[in-house]
């Protein structure tokens, strides 16, 4: 009888062990792997008038670089005077806005982390299947790291969120996405990020949307270009490689740039930078974050199937562009950034390009004309403005010199607006 009782006890104990393992489902594992790469974002927008109170907001972000770079939605940080980030461990740190793109509703912020952060595992959105399981993680209503699950309901959705914001090619999911979830990851069952949660259909249940991760990565690579993050220039324009292909593809090389002097050619595939393997365009920019102008970096290249080892010496960011940017800031009180043409066409096919307003100085001519961050400058006088050099040409043109003001055209959401900026008188320093 004693032996029989012991045997039964052993069966029960084994049953408990088996049950615990059954509880660790793929969803649990996926959330555990991603949780520390997700942060909660809180901010405060100044009131428009003294009678109104500041507006408190919330959102979510994902860690894309161990040195403190975080991706979220532009609308989460737009107009926010103070950005605070709470990590999964509970630490709250101040963040600064690095760069943003209102067209794609994406932004990069940075915190000074006390230790290296865990980067989110990036998947791909090119092979997503309608009906497959997905998981949303976010700061829903301020409840940090809320987890919901569902399926992909549909792909390639075009959604008009408001009069000033629309999205194309979105992932639709029935995983609950609530206010505060914006900027958080949509994960597949393997714990890989396949989308960035962006919106929910007002008044509807079970209808949420996310930006495909391939689109996010492409934009973030531009927002984290070394000219923005470390003020260094490499002169390489890259494109993602084909599925299964090693590295990324060199799309073009600027004449006279560091890449141009190292004999890098369009069509080359970049596989390593400074010993780091390159899988995405973002990897290339991240690999250069610790280098400064004058530093030499080893670059692994595949050309015609043969591996090559080259070296690139980084330079300072283009001084001519910097001078033009300073002049625009002095004269109008706004900072501008070129929107890559391929991304611009995705949202505004009737224009060939534009310049995004990234900052506006208080009480400046731009501020008085109610130009605001996120607007896209598409023209001045009778010319398009696709680069800073265009603006420089326009302001020095004989048709403009001597005028009191120049007419400008901006895109805000789906509307084209215009106004007049003064071009005569003293320049503010």
Give me the CATH number covering residue 187.
Answer: 2.40.10.10
DSSP codes, 196-247: EEEEE-TT-SS-EEEEEHHHHHHHHHHHT-HHHHTSEE--EEEEPPPTT-SS
Question: Looking at 217, 243, 265, which one is the last position of a domain?
Answer: 217
Boundary of a domain, candidates 195, 217, 239: 217
Q: Say whether both 333 and 292 belong to one domain.
A: no
Q: Bigger pLDDT: 31 or 257?
A: 31
Does 288 share its domain with 210? no
The CA–CA distances, whole Å, from 402 to 334, 405, 424 equal 22, 9, 7
Kindly state whether residues 327 and 312 are assigned to the same domain.
Answer: no
138, 77: one domain: no
Answer yes or no: do 407 and 334 share one domain: yes
Are 323 and 398 found together in one domain?
yes
pLDDT digits (tens, 9 = 90+) for 197-242: 997 776 677 899 999 999 999 999 988 988 778 888 888 889 898 8
- pLDDT tens by residue, 313-366: 998 876 556 677 878 888 898 988 888 766 666 665 567 788 989 888 888 899
- Are 213 and 100 spatial neighbours (Cβ–Cβ below 8 Å)? no
State how far Cα 26 lies from the chain centre: 28
pLDDT above 60 for 429:
no
Distance CA 378, CA 135 (A): 39
- Give domain status of residue 11, yes or no: no
- The predicted model scores a pTM of 0.77
- In a domain, residue 71? The reply is yes
Residue ranges making up the domain that contains 360:
319-422
Q: Residue 230's pLDDT is what?
A: 83
Contacts of 222 (CB under 8 A, 6+ apart): 101, 340, 343
Q: Does residue 153 form part of some domain?
A: yes
Is 27 part of any domain? no
Statement to judge: residues 291 and 237 lie in one domain: yes
We report the CATH number of the domain holding residue 341 as 2.30.42.10
* Residue 348 shares a structural domain with residue 389: yes
- Measured CA to CA, the distance from residue 286 to residue 288 in angstroms comes to 5
pLDDT above 70: percentage of residues in the chain = 87
Residue 256 banded pLDDT, cuts 50, 70, 90: confident
- Is there a domain that residue 416 lies in? yes
Among 163, 188, 217, identify where a domain stops.
217
Whether 191 and 167 map to the same domain: the answer is yes
| One domain for residues 303 and 349 | no
Let me know whether 205 and 270 are in one domain.
no
Report d(CA 57, CA 43) in Å as an integer: 5
**What does the buried/exposed string (b/e) look like for 114-140 if buried means 16 or more CB atoms within 10 Å of the residue's CB?**
eeebebbbbbbbeebeeeebbbbbbbb
pLDDT of 129-174, one tens digit each? 999 999 999 999 999 999 999 999 999 998 876 655 678 899 999 9
Residues annotated catalytic, as ranges: 75, 105, 182
Say yes or no: 234 and 307 in one domain: yes
Residue 374, domain member (yes or no): yes
pLDDT at 166: 74
Residue 100 domain-assigned (yes or no): yes
Give the span between the Cα atoms of 41 and 92, in whole angstroms: 9
- Confidence label for 428 from pLDDT (cuts 50, 70 and 90): very low
Helical pair 388-396 and 319-332, crossing angle rounded to 10 deg: 60
Report the helix count and the strand count for the chain, using DSSP H and E. 11, 26
CB 97 within 8 A of CB 85: no
pLDDT tens per residue across span 218-229: 999 988 988 778
Within a domain: 246: yes
Instruction: Give residue for tokens 């006390």.
Output: 114
Domain total in the chain: 4
β-partners of residue 334 are 360
């Amino acid at each position: 009888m004693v032996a029989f009782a012991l045997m039964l006890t052993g069966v029960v104990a084994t049953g408990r062990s088996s049950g615990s393992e059954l509880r660790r489902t793929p969803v649990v594992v996926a959330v555990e792997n991603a949780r520390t790469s997700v942060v909660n974002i809180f901010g405060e927008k100044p009131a428009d008038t003294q009678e109104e109170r500041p507006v408190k907001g919330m959102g979510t972000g994902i860690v894309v670089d161990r040195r403190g770079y975080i991706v979220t939605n532009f609308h989460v940080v737009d107009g926010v005077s103070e950005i605070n980030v709470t990590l999964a461990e509970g630490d709250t740190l101040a963040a600064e806005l690095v760069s943003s793109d209102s067209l794609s509703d994406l932004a990069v912020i940075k915190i000074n982390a006390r230790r290296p952060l865990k980067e989110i595992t990036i998947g791909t959105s090119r092979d997503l299947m309608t009906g497959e399981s997905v998981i949303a993680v976010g700061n829903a209503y301020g409840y940090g790291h809320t987890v919901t699950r569902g399926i992909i309901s549909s792909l390639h959705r075009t959604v008009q969120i408001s009069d000033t914001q629309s999205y194309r090619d979105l992932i639709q999911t029935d995983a609950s996405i609530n206010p505060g979830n914006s900027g958080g990851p949509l994960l597949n069952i393997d714990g890989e990020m396949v989308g960035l949660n962006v919106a929910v259909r007002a008044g509807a249940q079970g209808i949420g949307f996310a930006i495909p991760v391939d689109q996010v990565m492409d934009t973030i690579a531009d927002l984290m270009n070394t000219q923005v993050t470390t003020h260094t220039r490499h002169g390489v324009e890259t494109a993602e490689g084909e599925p299964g292909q090693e590295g990324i593809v060199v799309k073009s090389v600027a004449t006279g740039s560091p890449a141009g002097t190292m004999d890098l050619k369009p069509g080359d595939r970049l596989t390593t930078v400074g010993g780091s393997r390159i899988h995405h365009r973002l990897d290339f920019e991240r690999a250069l974050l610790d280098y400064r102008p004058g530093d030499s970096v080893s670059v692994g290249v595949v050309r015609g199937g043969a591996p090559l080892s080259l070296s690139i010496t980084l330079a300072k960011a283009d001084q001519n562009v910097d001078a033009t940017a300073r002049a625009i800031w002095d004269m109008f009180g706004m900072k501008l950034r070129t929107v890559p043409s391929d991304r611009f066409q995705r949202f505004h096919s009737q224009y060939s390009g534009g310049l995004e307003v990234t900052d506006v100085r208080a009480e400046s001519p731009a501020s008085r004309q109610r130009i605001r961050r996120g607007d896209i400058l598409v023209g001045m006088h009778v010319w398009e403005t696709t680069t800073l050099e265009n603006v420089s040409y326009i302001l020095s043109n004989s048709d403009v010199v001597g005028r009191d003001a120049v007419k400008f055209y901006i895109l805000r959401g789906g509307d084209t607006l215009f106004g007049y900026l003064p071009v005569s008188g003293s320049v503010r320093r």
